Each structure stands twice: as structure tokens, then as C-alpha cells.
């Protein structure tokens, strides 16, 4: 699998890479290769291969190396390789490089690092492990790329994220002056929960806007924790009109009672 991956990359060199100019008259045989140029152009190479043969061309000094000016692997060594290999390959059938073996990437999320590595290696893949913040238990795989079920070439590197057992921390965004809805979106975007508390304000310009927050902007908190935002609202109107109506009713009752008492006094005088 790894050899085929390398071949796939090297097949581009004679077609569109540093040796493309040398392969203009190359025949039908699939070829892969790589140019090489030493510092100060003291040595140049081209190593290439077909399905049947491999050849490496070196150009340089057998003694003390010396700068050769504008000499490169693709301009000197590669043309020599093409001239030589064209004769070697004459009359031979064109044989393509074999397709690399492929397979589905197994799921390793939830496994311990050692188990995940063994599972992926057994399936024909290489592994690159890194640590990252996660709510998962320490040592447990919480992410992988490519994802499980992806069919890809054996030898492909599968990257896994391994939890250090530390919950991820985030910085609280500053939302003062934002509208309540916008503040909520900004906080939720970094994984924070939001509590909204209305606060009366005499300033009409602050109605609907965040006038305070807790924790403050820039605080480091655990992802998923709550931030309280205080949003300005208009003050409630007082109940003065309703109290006056109730007082009038009570006064009317008192007057009626006085009239009754006066009538009783009249009866007593008649006796």
C-alpha cells in the first residue's frame, strides 16, 4: 500500500513535474521517477522505473564536487535516463502499475489508544495520534479522520484524537452592547449555555441590549457551562390609576353607613 502511494506521487514527475520537459517523446510505458539536485548544482540525479526496469542516472564529478551552473536533475539527468530507457523498453509490453489494495477504515472512537492503534494497523492503515481537549475519559479516542467506513488505500494515515481527561476550556466572548439574540448566538457558537435575566433600564437605547454579563469577557471556563446575560427592558408602569378607583369605592361605602346610623338616632327620639 505505501509503495503504491509513493508510485502514484512519482508518476506525476515525468508528466507535470520537474522532469516533464524530458519526457515529451516518451512512449506508452507508464513511468514514475524523481529528480534530484545538490546544493550549488554540484550533483544531479534522476531515478525512475517502469513496471519492468529501474534505472538511476547520476551526473557529477567523481573527484571534488564543483558547481555546474544551471544544471538540474530534470534538464540533464532525466534526458539521459529517457534516451537509455527508451532503448531498454523498446518492444516490451506497456504494463501499468498495480492498483493499491483498499479497504474500509474501522471505527475506533471510544477505544483506548493502544487498542485503536492495533485495530487500525491490523486493517492495513498507519496511525497518527494527537491529544486534544475532550469530555471523554483519559486515554480514550474521541475523534478519527478519515471517518469510520471510509474506503481508502491501505497505508493511508488515520489520525486519531486521544483525550487527556481534561474538559475543554473556552474563552468567554464579550457580548456587552449586543442585542440579546445576537449575544446568545455568540456564546452558543463557542459551546456555552446562556441564561437571560431582564433588567429594567430608564435608558431607551439600552432596551433589548446586553447591559452586563457574568462571567466577564475573556474569562476561561469549561465548555458547556452557563453565562448569564442581563438584557435591558422597559420599567413596568406604576399602578396609580387602579389605587384611586379602589379608594373611591371604599369612601362610598362609608357614607352609606353614616346614613344608616343617622336613621337609627331618629327612631330613638320618637320613643
- Tens-digit pLDDT profile for residues 214-239: 999 999 999 889 999 999 999 988 76
Do domains 102-162 and 169-233 share one topology? The answer is yes
pTM for this entry: 0.48
Q: CB-based contacts of 20: which residues, under 8 Å, 6+ apart?
A: 13, 14, 74
Where do the structural domains in the chain lie, given as residue ranges?
2-89, 102-162, 169-233
Which CATH number is 102-162 given?
Answer: 3.30.10.20
From the list 155, 142, 149, 159, the residue with the least C-alpha distance to 107 is: 149
Q: How far is CA 224 from CA 113, 136, 191, 210, in A?
A: 25, 14, 5, 21
pLDDT of residue 69: 87
pLDDT tens per residue across span 22-72? 998 899 999 999 999 999 899 999 999 999 999 999 999 888 888 998 889
Mean pLDDT by 10 residues, the chain (271 residues): 82 92 92 94 96 97 88 94 96 91 95 97 96 86 96 92 89 97 96 96 96 96 94 83 45 42 39 35
- At 13, which helix (H) or strand (E)? helix 13-16
Q: Are 72 and 21 in contact (CB under 8 A)?
A: no
**169-233 adopts what CATH topology?**
Trypsin Inhibitor V; Chain A (3.30.10)
Cα angle for residues 217, 223, 229 (degrees, 5° grid): 40
Amino acid at each position: 500500500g505505501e509503495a503504491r502511494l509513493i508510485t502514484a506521487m512519482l508518476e506525476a514527475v515525468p508528466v507535470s513535474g520537474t522532469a516533464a520537459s524530458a519526457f515529451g517523446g516518451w512512449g506508452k510505458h507508464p513511468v514514475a521517477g524523481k529528480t534530484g539536485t545538490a546544493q550549488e548544482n554540484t550533483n544531479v540525479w534522476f531515478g525512475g522505473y517502469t513496471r519492468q526496469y529501474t534505472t538511476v542516472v547520476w551526473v557529477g564529478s567523481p573527484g571534488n564536487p564543483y558547481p555546474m551552473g544551471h544544471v538540474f536533475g530534470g534538464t540533464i539527468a532525466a534526458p539521459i535516463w529517457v534516451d537509455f530507457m527508451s532503448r531498454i523498453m523498446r518492444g516490451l509490453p506497456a504494463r501499468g502499475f498495480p492498483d493499491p489494495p483498499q479497504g474500509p477504515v474501522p471505527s475506533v472512537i471510544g477505544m483506548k489508544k493502544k487498542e485503536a492503534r492495533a485495530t487500525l494497523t491490523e486493517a492495513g492503515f498507519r496511525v497518527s495520534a494527537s491529544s486534544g481537549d475532550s469530555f471523554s475519559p483519559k486515554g480514550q479516542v474521541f475523534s478519527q479522520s478519515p471517518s469510520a467506513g471510509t474506503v481508502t488505500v491501505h497505508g493511508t494515515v488515520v489520525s486519531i484524537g486521544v483525550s487527556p481527561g481534561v474538559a475543554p476550556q473556552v474563552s468567554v466572548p464579550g457580548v456587552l452592547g449586543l442585542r440579546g439574540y445576537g449575544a446568545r448566538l455568540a456564546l452558543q457558537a463557542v459551546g456555552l449555555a446562556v441564561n437571560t435575566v431582564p433588567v429594567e433600564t430608564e435608558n431607551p437605547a439600552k432596551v433589548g441590549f446586553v447591559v452586563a454579563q457574568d462571567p466577564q469577557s475573556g474569562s476561561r471556563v469549561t465548555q458547556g457551562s452557563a453565562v448569564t446575560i442581563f438584557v435591558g427592558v422597559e420599567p413596568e408602569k406604576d399602578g396609580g390609576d387602579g389605587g384611586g378607583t379602589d379608594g373611591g369605592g371604599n369612601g362610598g361605602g362609608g357614607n352609606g353607613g353614616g346614613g344608616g346610623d343617622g336613621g337609627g338616632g331618629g327612631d330613638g327620639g320618637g320613643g
